[in-house]
């Protein structure tokens, strides 16, 4: 078996992780087909499910998948359904320690027209700027979990995901090991990118709780796997940062 470099292994892992997620616009079309509703109504349902923690979501960032911070889904949420689907990310509130928990307050959706421009790099300075605000300076592709979408409409015995001003859906806690691994990989990766200490078992569990991932006994089993145990600090070991 040929040697695979660390960089290539990380690239393969990122590709495997990415395969578990679908673009927001694809999810919108899926809900439209299921419910026979408009694209805006479908988008409202998906956003409500994300806020309710009934649907896992990620930003498709430059360095890989990034978690959606609760404070980013507050106030007015601008959405562009052109292409793969983009959402205006409020970078001023995109901080890991900002509003640690979802409050159940739904954002007001504002749909904007595309097309998407790449930082307006292809627009000569002598010409007027294009009649659109949608550029990759602020608008980021939003992804949702394929596994969760396969169970659409998301519901339990008493509650069903509806539009943003309807009933709240309890977060799912019966996640598969594959979902738990994906979420843990993102948690450890984000801490590494931010140059912070890798989370211990309890810290990792608390972060998963915020994402609506469980149950705890299954999380413990996954945390024992070499991929995650090797990243945690050993007893008595200090974080150099």
- pLDDT confidence of residue 133: 65
* Residues 223, 128 share a domain: no
Whether residue 85 is found in the same domain as residue 197: no
Of residues 236 and 181, more confidently modeled: 181
Do 205 and 144 lie in a common domain?
no
Structure tokens at 96: 């890991």
Whether residues 144 and 196 fall in one domain: no
More confident residue, 189 or 100: 189
Question: Which carries the bigger pLDDT value, residue 47 or residue 118?
Answer: 47
* 96 and 192 co-located in one domain: no
Q: Do 27 and 105 lie in a common domain?
A: yes
Domain count, the chain: 2
Does residue 189 share a domain with residue 128? no
At 97, is the pLDDT very low, low, confident or very high (cuts 50, 70, 90)?
very low
Cβ-Cβ contacts under 8 Å for 78 (sequence gap 6 or more): 87, 88, 110, 111, 112, 139
Distance CA 92, CA 52 (A): 23
Q: Is the domain of 129 the same as that of 41?
A: yes
Specify the pLDDT at position 89.
79
* 134 lies in the same domain as 52: yes
- Mind listing the pLDDT tens digit for each residue in 72-82? 888 888 998 88
pLDDT in tens, 164-186: 333 333 344 678 888 899 889 98
pTM over 0.85: no
* Structural domain harbouring 192: 177-229
Q: Which residues contact 205 (CB under 8 A, 6 or more apart)?
A: 216, 219, 223
pLDDT band at 63 (very low <50, low <70, confident <90, very high): low
Predicted confidence band of residue 225 (pLDDT cuts 50, 70, 90): very high
The burial class, CB within 10 Å (0-12 / 13-18 / 19+), for 77 is buried
In this prediction, residue 132 has a pLDDT band, given cuts at 50, 70 and 90, of low
State the average pLDDT over residues 125-147: 70
Residue 77 has φ and ψ, to the nearest 5°, of -115, 115
Give pLDDT, residue 40: 92
Give buried/exposed letters for 131-146 (b at 16+ CB in 10 A, else e): ebbbbeeebbbbbbbe
Q: Which residue has the higher pLDDT, 214 or 180?
A: 180
Is-contact 86 61, C-beta < 8 A? no
Least trusted range by pLDDT, from 76-85, 106-115, 126-135, 139-148: 126-135
């Amino acid at each position: 078996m040929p040697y695979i470099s660390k960089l290539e292994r990380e690239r393969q892992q990122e590709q495997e992780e990415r395969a578990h997620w679908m673009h927001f616009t694809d999810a919108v079309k899926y809900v439209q087909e299921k419910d026979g509703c408009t694209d805006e109504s479908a988008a409202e349902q998906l956003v409500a499910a994300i806020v309710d923690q009934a649907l896992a979501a990620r930003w498709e960032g430059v360095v890989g998948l990034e978690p959606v911070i609760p404070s980013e889904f507050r106030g007015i949420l601008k959405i562009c359904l052109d292409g793969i689907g983009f959402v205006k990310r409020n970078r001023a509130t995109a901080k890991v320690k900002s509003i640690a928990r979802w409050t159940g307050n739904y954002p007001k959706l504002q749909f904007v027209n595309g097309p998407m421009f790449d930082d307006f790099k292809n627009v000569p300075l002598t010409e007027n700027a294009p009649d659109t605000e949608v550029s990759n300076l602020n608008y980021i592709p939003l992804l949702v979990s394929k596994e969760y979408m396969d169970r659409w409409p998301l519901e339990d015995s008493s509650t069903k995901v509806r539009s943003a001003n309807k009933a709240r859906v309890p977060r799912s806690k019966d996640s598969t090991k594959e979902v738990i691994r994906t979420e843990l990989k993102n948690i450890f990766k984000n801490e590494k990118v931010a140059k912070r200490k890798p989370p211990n078992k309890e810290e990792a569990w608390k972060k998963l709780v915020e994402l609506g991932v469980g149950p705890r006994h299954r999380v413990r089993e996954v945390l024992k796997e070499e991929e995650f145990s090797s990243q945690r600090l050993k007893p008595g070991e200090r974080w150099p940062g």
